[in-house]
Every structure is written in structure tokens, then in C-alpha cells.
Structure 1
Amino acid sequence: MKLIGMLDSPYVRRVAVSLKRMGIAFEHESVSVFRGMERFRELNPVIKAPTFITDDGLVLMESSLILDYVGCLKGAGNGLMPVALAERARTLRLTGLALVAYEKAVQIYYERNLRPAEIQHAPWVERVSGQLKTACAELERELTERPLSASQDIGQDGISIAVGWSFIQLVVPDLISAESYPVLAAFASEAEQLDIFKSLPMV
């Protein structure tokens, strides 16, 4: 199996850390959708990161769909999602909040770095920034009320949150500070000390 994409993408890194956490062997080819577009096109003509190629040669896309596939490979109860409905629902909520934060941070980064300054749309950036801050505030509240463990048995919610926080600090640290979200920052910092994270650094 092969994972295609750069680890500075939270979506790619989320998949890579999850695969490592589940003990699934994979080859990682670090290809940029920008600088390595032609190579990426050879592997996946729609040029989408992350791309995952199964042992049968099937090309999969979208981090959650890739993780659904590998979860099925491990079998029910052996993946990173709880089986019990209540626990699964909470994991889905936390993971969803983390994915919203990814998305909004990416949108802000692209607006700032890919669109010429004279045509950047300030109301759009303000709106998206508000969504990012709200997602982080919700995660802060959730982790304060019911802490997660950033230990060796970290689940999909914890992986997604930690990867997202590190990405946000990389691309929009001026908007989201550790001082404003101390519980979230502490959790991510602890998770980043795990071997599965250190072996797959964002930068």
C-alpha cells in the first residue's frame, strides 16, 4: 500500500499517523500537488492529496474515506474508532471539529498566500477565521469537560486534533494561540511526543 502526499498537509499526515498507529505497513511518497503536479498526475489524474493506493492498485482519496478502508482492513473493533455508539458519536464529533479547523486554516492560508493582496476578500477571511476560532473553542471546551488521553492508545479523535493543532500553528499562528486554547495546545504537545508522531514530522 502506498500513501501519496506531503506531510505538511494535515489530511496526509492524519492518514500517515493513523496507519502507523494501527500497525499497517505502507510506502510514503512525498509529492507536492503544486511542485510535483506531473508526478502526482501519474499516480492520480485528479491530483488530490492524500491519495492512497491499495495492494490491488485501487486509487482512493479523501482522508476519512481512506481511513474507513484501512479500518475495515483491521476488522471491527481493531481500528481507531470506538464500536459503542455513544463513544463513537463523541469521537465523530471531535474528529469533525478538527476537520473543520483543518479546512478553515487551509482556506485562510490559500487566501493569504495564493491570491494577490489587492484582490483578497477581507470579509471572507473574517468569516473563515471566525469558523476556525469557533472550532478550536469547541474543542477546548470538549477537552476541558472530558479530557482525552494522548497516550500510546490514542484514537482517531486525538490523532486528528493533534495533527490539526500542529498544522494551524504552522500556517496561521497569528490567529490561534496556545494562550487562548491552553488545554488543546497541551494535548497536542503531549501527542506530538509519541513515536508515531515524531516518526512522521510535519516539517
Structure 2
Amino acid sequence: MKLIGSLTSPYVRKVRIVLAEKKIECDFEIQSPWTEDSVVPDYNPLGKIPVLVLDDGTPLFDSRVIVEYIDNVTPNNKLFPAPNRERTEVKRWEALADGLLDAAVEARHESQRPVASQSAAHLRRQREKIMRSLAFMARELGEQPYCMGTPMTLADIAVGTALGYLLFRFPDIEWGQAHPNLARLHDKLMQRPSFQETLPKE
């Protein structure tokens, strides 16, 4: 298998963490979807990363599809429960974390536009989504050691990836002070090699 992505994309990082937790070897081809010579559209017509290219050449895209596929490749270190209410809750956590990331990425793109072209209202809406999502995560986590109680699941990987992206791109959002339980979860996850070795970098 081959994973196509960048070192800064949080969606790619989520997949890399799952691959590491599942102990699955996978080639990693660094590609930006924004360059004119990018090969990403050759694999994903949407022009987005990550893309996981299977051994038979089939491309899988959207990180949620990819991580669920990877979790089913081997029985070790299962990150998704069997299909039931608990599995739905894990996927709800992932949808929330990915939604926070969608807002954060959109806010970053807007902030990179020329100042005269930026929409203050659009930026405000995205940051409000981020703040509401953080508050919801903190309420749902409570004093549990992990999002689903125990053990660690894909929910924690998704949330940890989202929190890590905020640290990387939005250091002004001091979510750790506002939500110390999220900070404790992130600190615990950062003790894992899968998180340490995939820290985003330019």
C-alpha cells in the first residue's frame, strides 16, 4: 500500500497514526494537492489528501473511509468496536473532530488571503465552530481517561489529531487552559510513538 499526503495535513496525520497503531507498513509519498504538478488528482478526482493506494491500485480517499479500512485489515489493536451503538458513538466523535478540522482549515485558508479580500464574518463563523466543538468535546469527555472510557479508540486519535492541529496552526486558541481535561487527554496521547512521530511540520 501507498499513502499519498503531506506532513502538515491533519487528515493525513490521522491515517498515519492509525497505520502506526495497527503496525502496518506503508509507503508514504509526500505530495501537496496545491501544486500544479501534483499527482493527487490522478488518484483522487476531488484533488484532496490523504489517498491510500491499495496493492491492486485501487485508490481510497477521505480519511474516514481509509482509517476504517485499515482497522479491518488486521485484527490487532482494534480501534473501532463491532457494529453497534458504541461504534456509532466512535464515528460521532470522529465526525466532530473532523468538523472542527474543517472549520480550522477553512479559517486558515481565509486568513491567508490578502487582507482586503478576507471576510471577517466568515473567519468569525469558523472560529465559533471551533470553540463550540471544543466545549462539546470537553463536556462529553468529562473525567474519563479516553473518549469512550477505556480503551483508546479511533475517537481519541481523531480528537488528538484535531487538538494537535490547533496547537500547530492556532496557538492563540488556548483550549488547554479552557478545557484541562482535553489537555490531559492530549498529553496522554502524545506519549505514544504514533503521535510523537507524526507531529505536523512544514
TM (norm. structure 1) is 0.88
Contact 2:140–2:147, Cα closer than 8 Å, also in 1: no
> Where does 1:68-79 land on structure 2 (aligned, <5 Å)?
68-74=68-74, 79=78
Ranges in structure 1 where 5+ consecutive residues have no aligned partner = none
Aligned partner of 1:19 in structure 2 is: 19
1:81 matched to 2:80? The reply is: yes
Distance in 1, Cα, partners of 2:71 & 2:103: 26
Structure 2 counterpart of 1:97:
96
How many aligned residue pairs are there? 200
Higher alpha-carbon deviation: 172-181 or 186-195: 172-181
Q: How does 1:149-188 map to 2 (within 5 A)?
A: 154-188=152-186
Q: Residue 41 of structure 1: CA displacement?
A: 4.2
For 1:189 and 1:162, the matched residues in 2 are separated by 9
Alignment of 1:91-130 (within 5 A): 91-113=90-112, 115-130=113-128
Query: In the superposition, relative to structure 1, how do residues 44 and 95 fare at CA in structure 2: closer, same or farther (>3 Å)?
Result: closer
What displacement does 1:43 show? 4.9
- TM-score using structure 2 length: 0.88
Q: Distance in 2 between matches of 1:60 and 1:202?
A: 22
**Structure 1 residues 46 and 86: CA distance shift in structure 2, 3 A:** closer
Q: Do residues 57 (structure 1) and 57 (structure 2) align?
A: yes
Tell me which stretches of 4 or more aligned residues in structure 1 moved more than 3 Å. Answer: 39-46
Secondary structure at 2:103 match in 1: helix
Deviations 1:125-164, CA, capped at 9 Å, x for gaps: 11111111111111111111533179xx631011111111
Structure 2: gaps of 5 or more residues: none
Distance 1:161 1:116, change over 3 A: same
Tell whether 2:9 aligns with 1:9: yes
Partner of 2:31: 31
Change (3 A) 1:163 1:60: same
What does the per-residue CA deviation read over 1:27-75, in whole Å, with 9 as the maximum and x for residues that have no partner? 1112122247434345545432001100111111100111222233236
Pair 170,36 (structure 1): closer, same or farther in 2 beyond 3 Å = farther
Sequence identity, in percent? 29
Say what the alpha-carbon RMSD is for the aligned residues: 2.4
What secondary structure, in the 3-state scheme, does the structure 2 residue paired with 1:38 have?
A: coil
The 5 A counterparts of 1:41-52 are: 41-44=41-44, 46-52=46-52
Q: Distance in 1 between matches of 2:191 and 2:185?
A: 10
